[in-house]
């Protein structure tokens, strides 16, 4: 392993999250019951997704000011990993929704917003694949990435606040802070956010290295 310290730290955090997440006492609440443990898996996926998409945005901006193949690799792999996290978040969320709200898909604004943002980034991948010239592809998809991110901000941060939501913290529902202030939930939740995000960055780093090696190999021959 290259630079092993933060990777060992990630593994330790995630082991702690998985073991602690399933064993540590949680508050007994109506409707939620034991599904409250999904908090350690579902919510960090969204935190991770937004952080990783933002990394992609930053590298797309960097690409436009300094067009190197490395910047483009970071941008595209950030989108790939972000989509993975998005799907995992959607699946864990749907499962949770089935147990607590009674439906897999209940038309909740946050659920819809996340599905739409996945559509946007899948469109980004389609756009990339429609061009074959490397530099043009990188530049145009960087432009779309920035444009789409700007258009998505109202979707993720404004719309759920304007309409009613089943999620905690919006539409008159109390935030999760009210529930998990008491127990050791914070002790697991914050490490979970850090751990899952670091895992995403780890996957991203491996894929970027692979992509850069592919490029080097391609241009040597």
Partner 1 sequence: MFKEVKALILKDLKLEWRQKYALNGILLYVISTVFLCYLSFKHVDPITWLTLFWIIMLFTSVNAVAKSFLQESKGRMLYYYSISSSQSVIISKLIYNILLMLVLSVICLGFYHVVMGNPLENKLLFAVALILGSSGLASSFTMVSAIASKANNNTTLLAVLSFPIIIPLLVMLIAVSKNAMIGNPWMQSMDELITLLAINVIIVTVSYILFPYLWRE
Is the Cβ of residue 153 or residue 218 nearer to partner 1 in the bound state? 153
Least CB distance from residue 26 to partner 1, whole Å? 35
**Site for partner 1 contains 142 (CB under 8 A):** yes
Part of the chain binding partner 1 (CB under 8 A), chosen from 11-19, 32-40, 144-152, 188-196: 144-152
**Site for partner 1 contains 119 (CB under 8 A):** yes
**How far is the C-alpha of 160 from the C-alpha of 69, rounded, in Å?**
37
Is the Cβ of residue 146 or residue 185 nearer to partner 1 in the bound state? 146
**How far is the C-alpha of 49 from the C-alpha of 54, rounded, in Å?**
8
**How far is the C-alpha of 122 from the C-alpha of 55, rounded, in Å?**
17
C-alpha closest to that of 68 among 189, 212, 174:
212
**Site for partner 1 contains 201 (CB under 8 A):** no
Is the Cβ of residue 92 or residue 117 nearer to partner 1 in the bound state? 117
**How far is the C-alpha of 188 from the C-alpha of 18, rounded, in Å?**
9
Least CB distance from residue 219 to partner 1, whole Å? 22
**Site for partner 1 contains 126 (CB under 8 A):** yes
**Site for partner 1 contains 120 (CB under 8 A):** yes
Is the Cβ of residue 91 or residue 158 nearer to partner 1 in the bound state? 158
**Site for partner 1 contains 146 (CB under 8 A):** yes
**Using alpha carbons only, what angle is made at residue 142 by residues 122 and 84, rounded to the nearest 5 degrees?**
35
Is the Cβ of residue 24 or residue 64 nearer to partner 1 in the bound state? 64
Spell out the long-range contacts of 66-70 with Cβ–Cβ below 8 A and sequence spacing 24 or more. Answer: 67/135, 67/138, 67/139, 69/134, 69/138, 69/212, 69/215, 70/208, 70/212
**How far is the C-alpha of 97 from the C-alpha of 108, rounded, in Å?**
10
**Site for partner 1 contains 49 (CB under 8 A):** no
Q: What length does the chain have? A: 221
**Site for partner 1 contains 51 (CB under 8 A):** no
Helix 39-65 crosses helix 4-23 at what angle (to 10 degrees)? 150
Question: In the set 12, 162, 181, 213, which binds partner 1 (CB under 8 A)?
Answer: 162
**Site for partner 1 contains 157 (CB under 8 A):** no
Torsion of CA 144, 150, 153, 158, to 10 degrees: -130
Using CB under 8 A as the criterion, which residues of the chain lie in contact with partner 1 when the complex forms?
Answer: 64, 116-117, 119-120, 123, 126-127, 130-131, 136, 139-140, 142-144, 146-148, 150-155, 158-159, 162-163
């Amino acid at each position: 392993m290259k630079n092993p310290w933060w990777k060992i730290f990630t593994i330790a955090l995630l082991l702690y999250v998985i073991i602690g997440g399933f064993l540590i006492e949680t508050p007994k609440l109506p409707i939620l019951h034991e599904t409250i443990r999904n908090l350690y898996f579902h919510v960090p996926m969204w935190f991770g997704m937004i952080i990783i998409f933002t990394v992609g945005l930053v590298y797309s901006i960097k690409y436009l000011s300094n067009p190197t193949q490395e910047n483009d690799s970071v941008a595209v792999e950030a989108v790939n990993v972000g989509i993975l996290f998005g799907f995992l978040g959607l699946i864990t969320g749907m499962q949770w929704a089935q147990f607590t709200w009674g439906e897999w898909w209940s038309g909740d604004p946050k659920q819809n917003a996340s599905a739409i943002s996945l559509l946007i980034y899948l469109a980004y991948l389609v756009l990339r694949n429609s061009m074959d010239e490397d530099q043009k592809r990188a530049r145009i998809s960087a432009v779309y990435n920035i444009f789409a991110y700007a258009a998505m901000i109202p979707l993720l941060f404004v719309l759920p606040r304007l309409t009613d939501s089943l999620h905690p913290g919006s539409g008159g529902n109390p935030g999760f802070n009210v529930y998990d202030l008491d127990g050791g939930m914070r002790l697991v939740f914050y490490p979970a956010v850090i751990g899952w995000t670091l895992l995403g960055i780890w996957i991203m780093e491996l894929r970027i290295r692979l992509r850069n090696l592919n490029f080097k190999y391609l241009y040597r021959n």
